A and B are shown apart, each in its own frame.
Chain A
Amino acid sequence: MNTKGTIQFIEKPSIASTAVIAGPMEKDSVFAASFDEILLLENEKDETYEQANRRFIEKVCALAVKKGHEQMNTIDYLIGGDLINQLSPTNFAARELALPFLGVFSACASSMEAVIVGSLLLEAGNAKSVLAGASSHHPTVERQFRYPLEYGAQKPKTAQWTVTAAGFAMLQKHAKNAPIITHATIGKVVDGGQTDPLHMGAAMASAARDTIERHLVNTNSRMADYDVIMTGDLGKIGLSILKEMFSDTDSHVILQDAGAQFYGENDFFNAGASGAGCSAAVFFSHIYEQLKSGVFKRVLLVATGALLSPLTYQQGETIPCIAHAIECRMEKRG
């Protein structure tokens, strides 16, 4: 059987609970009211940025478990990722959480990769509760991918701001009054031939298009069947590019982007937000709430990731990208 990358879940893996912790800059986000906690500082006194990142991953996991009325020792697996070399923040957080752990990396699409792997574990009947999610931390990511924080480099209008945020979800088989994950489409690595690391939206748009298109074909659906199709962090310009790539369909309102909306119209952030924590934070707070309250009944969440490193960029390589999608549905209460 050739699934063409789309998985159909029969056993109704569902998102039983979620938790999101965001950083100090994210208090101005349009989604801030939906976040569980907003940190006052990027790092506490006597703590490195990397330690701060690890600390809030541990905290958000504990929070997701608590909100789902479970204990940490009843969780079967922890699956997570971030943007830092060797996944150090998540690996180190997993040391503290002491759960069977899988680290995943799809850059900013890591959250959805984690959810897909978690759903497969539930589907196979090998787990009851799985924690899945991703995080990013602005100062830590900037240092690895760009310049020192205080270095004065002028950012173009296409640049995006890596968010400080972590979003984790507790997945359980058929939890009550929770959105279920019906399908997932695993992304292909797509290269749109883009070379500008300060214009990631353009690079990731091709990957997003490929995944969305395949998902629609494989599930025999149209865009209009969804309340929203939300991409992770294409930003304002990347979203316009994606919309134009789909211009043959009538779905300009259905395509939305978490990164484009994240900071509202604030020009300081240029094209919007990015980072593994961006899609995780929005999908697991605002979108999850809308699903739970029944406002949205069927959504497609497409996290997008640019798979570049400072090394590949400096060696003149183009930017390959990936997008993983999950389809969530809210069934009638009761």
Chain B
Amino acid sequence: MDQKQFQTIVDKQTPKAPLFINMLKAFFVGGIICTIGQFVSFFYIRFFDFTERTAANPTVATMVFFAMILTGTGLYKKISQFGGAGSAVPVTGFGNAVISAAIEHKSEGYVLGIGGNIFKLAGSVIVFGVLSAFFVALIKTILVKVGVLSW
């Protein structure tokens, strides 16, 4: 049996990922998480001295806190199995990546274990987040200087 024949069998027997259903689930799970985030944001604006712009920071912290509780109790991975990208893309997914790594590497100690591994998964989010923020800011600065946009 040559490689091509074998690959045909593999492709035939491997079930296709249900793309549409998965997107629908991701849309609803991601939507629910973002709606909760919006309520948290309103809460900080209504009851504390935050504006729409400054409320983002405490909102992110609160959402990561929720993700921590859900990760520690083992619920987040269940939500993720259902929601896929819907639970991975919002900031709660980032929180889950950080916290799950911290729990996992506790056995190797606080410095080499937790400290050394906490950003094992989330590290690339930070690297590419900072990198893309830099380039977006660069492009906008140029556009403002040229006079196409204003701050």
Are both chains from one complex? Answer: yes
Q: How large is the interface on A (under 10, 10 to 19, 20 to 34, 35 or more residues)?
A: 20 to 34
CB distance from A148 to the nearest CB of B (A): 4
Which of A150, A240, A244 has most B Cβ within 10 Å? A150
In the complex, A151 Cα to B81 Cα: how many Å?
A: 10
What residues of B have a CB within 8 angstroms of the CB of A49 in the complex?
Answer: 107
Within 8 A of A (CB), among B76-102: 76-77, 79-81, 83-85, 87-88, 93, 96-97, 99-101
Within 8 A of A (CB), among B60-88: 71-72, 74, 76-77, 79-81, 83-85, 87-88
What residues of A have a CB within 8 angstroms of the CB of B100 in the complex?
Answer: 147-152
Q: When A and B form their complex, what is the total count of cross-chain residue pairs whose Cβ atoms lie within 8 Å?
A: 87
Docked-complex contact A156 and B87, CB < 8 angstroms: no
What residues of B have a CB within 8 angstroms of the CB of A206 in the complex?
Answer: 6
Known: A199-B14, A241-B10, A244-B9. A150 touches B76 (CB 8 A): yes
CB distance from A145 to the nearest CB of B (A): 13
Within 8 A of B (CB), among A193-216: 193-194, 199, 202, 205-206, 209
| Residue A222, interface by CB 8 Å | no
Within 8 A of B (CB), among A166-225: 192-194, 199, 202, 205-206, 209
Within 8 A of A (CB), among B1-43: 1, 3, 6-7, 9-10, 12-15, 17, 22
Docked-complex contact B10 and A143, CB < 8 angstroms: no
Within 8 A of B (CB), among A304-332: none
Tell me if A's interface is mostly helix, strand, loop or mixed.
Answer: loop
Known: A192-B6, A193-B3, A241-B13. A152 touches B104 (CB 8 A): no
| Residue A286, interface by CB 8 Å | no
Docked-complex contact B77 and A152, CB < 8 angstroms: yes
| Residue B121, interface by CB 8 Å | yes
Please list the residues of chain A having a beta carbon within 8 angstroms of any beta carbon in chain B. Answer: 48-50, 143, 147-158, 192-194, 199, 202, 205-206, 209, 237, 240-241, 244-245
